[in-house]
Amino acid sequence: MSYAIDFGTSNTVVARWNSVTEQPEIITLPGLSLRSAPNPGLIPSLLYVEEAVKEQVWVGQQVCDRGLDIQSDPRFFRSFKRGIGSTVQGFLPELEGQTISFEQVGTWFCNRSFSRCKPPILIFKTL
């Protein structure tokens, strides 16, 4: 099965090719996707770090549903895609003694989001 991922700054969309209908279809990931008709299953590109060392994070709509999308909270990340691969990282918090990078936030987001697809989408870490 073929998948396409639009990892956006504000929202992320996962689609797959339906070989029966010969059409693409957007996948709604329960608990992660924002469902508001008539829009497709958009996943807000948000992440909240509950505990960095244990890699316990909330992603997508989970962040909003739990009221964790507080801009002043250093555990809340949005618009992190812009920082991935950038030589200027700006302010990034240290959580539980671990310095957080935009690449780490992006990895957590992708791993938590796309592992729910059936079959799972493989995410490769950069070295």
What is the tens place of the pLDDT at every residue in 54-84? 999 999 999 999 999 999 999 999 999 888 8
Residue 70 lies in a domain: yes
Q: What is the pLDDT of residue 116?
A: 64
Largest Cα–Cα separation, the chain:
50
Burial of 122 (0-12, 13-18, 19+ CB in 10 A): exposed
Q: Which residue blocks in the chain are alpha helix, DSSP H?
A: 61-65, 102-114
3-state SS, residue 7? strand
pLDDT of residue 11: 92
Q: How far apart are CA 15 and CA 28, in angstroms?
A: 9
Does any domain span residue 126?
A: no
CA distance linking residue 15 with residue 41, whole number of Å:
10
Residue 97 lies in a domain: yes
Integer CA distances (angstroms), 71 to 76, 77, 116, in order? 7, 8, 27
Q: Residue 59 sits in which domain range?
A: 3-114
71 in a structural domain:
yes
pTM of the model: 0.84
* Residue ranges, the chain, pLDDT below 50: 124-127
In a domain, 43, yes or no: yes
From residue 5, how far is each of 10, 25, 114, 123 by CA, in Å? 14, 12, 9, 11
State how many domains the chain has: 1
For residue 127, tell me if it sits in a domain.
Answer: no
Q: In Å, what is the CA distance from 82 to each residue of 30, 55, 102?
A: 26, 21, 8
Asked if the structure places residue 96 within a domain, the reply is yes
> What is the spatial distance between Cα 78 and Cα 7, in angstroms, rounded to a whole number?
13
Q: Per the domain annotation, does 123 fall within a domain?
A: no
